């Protein structure tokens, strides 16, 4: 047993009937890291995360989460993790404050309910019944319930689905605050920009396997990929693919004696790389 990694999985496999959902995943997440699992619906993200959360049993492989096998974990382990569920809608007749306080009572060393309600931006709704909350507010309550136990590791499964852009940015700020406080975060999302905004490292899942992993900046070899230099020649748009864009731009500048008309230098965007990886361009 080692607690060097917050999460470590080796050869993780899970099938439902004849369908293989997770087909041999290796994963390592360091303490304090924000790690994103990215992929289209049905790629195996939720299955992977639910195995790590202890909700599902794996068919094969080794898993250690905070040094413990989730399949055999007990109350002590559950007190150290926080789970933000997708689309929960329970206890409609309780107030926000009642619900958060109740969950605080389940943990040995909870955060103060008022503090957590404030953090997720629900202070004005603390006395509102849960069924009166908007979709985004209900989601923030889910986040509050995931945080209340002062987790070392937080699971966020598609946390901002259905958020408007403003709510999404507010939520990202909450994650950054937590991460700054040393919490390890495992995020699943199908929003590329969310992974890029929050995660230090990203793994892209497709058909139950990891097809790429790395920092958002150099995912899929993006940082070293060939650049494309484009400009407007006298008779139309020209472009040149090159490993040395600076040299090409220098030559162009010399040729035009200053400003190059319509000059752009582009590398494949994260989205280009991602779509290639998940086969969205086939």
Partner 1 sequence: MTAMSTSEAVMASTPRAPLPGVWRISLSRGGVELKSFFRERQSVVFILALPAVMLVLLGTIFGGEHTGPGVSIGDLYVAGLIGGGVMATSYQNLGMSVAFDRERFTLKRLRGTPMPAAAYFAGKVIQVLVAAIAETVVLGGVGLAFYHLRLPASLAAWWTFTWVFVLGVAACSLLGVAASSVVRSAARNGVAVITLPFVVLQFISGVYVPFYLVPPWLRDIASVFPLEWMCRGMRSVFVPQAVTLEPGHSWQHGQTALALTAWIVAGLVLCLTTFRWQNRRDR
Q: Looking at 13, 15, 32, 55, which residue binds partner 1 (CB under 8 A)?
A: 55
Residues 7-46 touching partner 1, rule: CB under 8 A, are 16
User: Rounded to a whole number, what is the distance in angstroms from the first to the last CA of the chain?
Assistant: 43
Rg (CA), the chain: 23
Q: Quick check: 98 binds partner 1 (CB under 8 A)? A: yes
Window contacting partner 1 (CB under 8 A); options: 34-42, 50-58, 222-230, 242-250: 50-58
Consecutive H or E run containing 196? helix 192-198
Asked if residue 252 lies in contact with residue 267, where contact means CB atoms within 8 angstroms, the answer is no
CA–CA separation, 224 and 221 (whole Å): 6
Structure token digits, residue 269: 């965007």
Q: Quick check: 89 binds partner 1 (CB under 8 A)? A: yes
Window contacting partner 1 (CB under 8 A); options: 5-13, 24-32, 98-106, 263-271: 98-106
Smallest distance, Å, CB 108 to partner 1?
Answer: 4
Q: Looking at 10, 102, 176, 267, which residue binds partner 1 (CB under 8 A)?
A: 102
Whether the CA torsion 108, 153, 49, 143 is positive or negative: it is positive
Window contacting partner 1 (CB under 8 A); options: 72-80, 176-184, 248-256, 264-272: 72-80
Q: Quick check: 83 binds partner 1 (CB under 8 A)? A: yes
Smallest distance, Å, CB 92 to partner 1?
Answer: 8
Window contacting partner 1 (CB under 8 A); options: 21-29, 100-108, 208-216, 239-247: 100-108
Residue 30 CA, distance from chain mean position: 15
Consecutive H or E run containing 53? helix 45-53
> DSSP class of residue 112?
P
Residues 6+ apart with CB under 8 A from 128: 95, 96
Q: Looking at 75, 127, 255, 281, which residue binds partner 1 (CB under 8 A)?
A: 75
- What residues form DSSP beta bridges with 11? none
Looking up tokens 């990886």, which residue turns up?
A: 277
Rounded to 10 deg, the angle between the 165-180 and 135-147 helix axes is 10
Residues 109-128 touching partner 1, rule: CB under 8 A, are 109
Q: Looking at 5, 35, 103, 171, which residue binds partner 1 (CB under 8 A)?
A: 103
> DSSP class of residue 222?
T
Q: Quick check: 5 binds partner 1 (CB under 8 A)? A: no
Window contacting partner 1 (CB under 8 A); options: 49-57, 190-198, 213-221, 242-250: 49-57
Which residues of this protein are in contact with partner 1, per CB under 8 A? Answer: 1, 16, 53-56, 75-76, 78-81, 83, 85, 87-94, 98, 102-103, 105-109, 129, 145, 149
């Amino acid at each position: 047993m080692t607690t060097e990694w917050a999460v470590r999985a080796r050869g993780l496999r899970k099938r439902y009937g004849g369908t293989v959902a997770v087909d041999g995943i290796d994963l390592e997440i360091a303490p304090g890291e924000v790690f994103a699992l990215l992929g289209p619906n049905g790629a195996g993200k939720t299955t992977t995360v639910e195995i790590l959360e202890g909700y599902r049993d794996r068919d094969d492989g080794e898993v250690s989460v905070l040094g413990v096998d989730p399949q055999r974990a007990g109350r002590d382990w559950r007190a150290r993790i926080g789970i933000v569920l997708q689309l929960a809608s329970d206890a409609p007749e309780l107030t926000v404050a009642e619900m958060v306080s109740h969950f605080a009572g389940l943990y040995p060393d909870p955060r103060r309910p008022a503090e957590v309600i404030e953090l997720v931006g629900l202070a004005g709704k603390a006395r509102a019944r849960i069924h009166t909350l908007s979709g985004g507010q209900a989601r923030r309550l889910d986040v509050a319930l995931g945080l209340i136990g002062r987790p070392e590791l937080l699971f966020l499964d598609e946390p901002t689905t259905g958020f408007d852009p403003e709510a999404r940015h507010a939520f990202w700020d909450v994650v950054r605050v937590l991460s700054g406080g040393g919490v390890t975060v495992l995020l699943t999302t199908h929003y590329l920009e969310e992974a890029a905004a929050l995660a230090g490292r990203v793994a892209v899942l497709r058909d139950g396997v990891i097809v790429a992993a790395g920092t958002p900046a150099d995912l899929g070899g993006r940082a070293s990929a060939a650049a494309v230099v484009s400009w407007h020649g006298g008779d139309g748009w020209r472009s040149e693919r090159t490993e040395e864009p600076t040299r090409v731009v220098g030559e162009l500048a010399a040729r035009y004696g200053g400003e190059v008309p319509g000059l752009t230098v582009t590398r494949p965007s994260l989205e280009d790389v991602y779509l290639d990886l998940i086969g969205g361009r086939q």
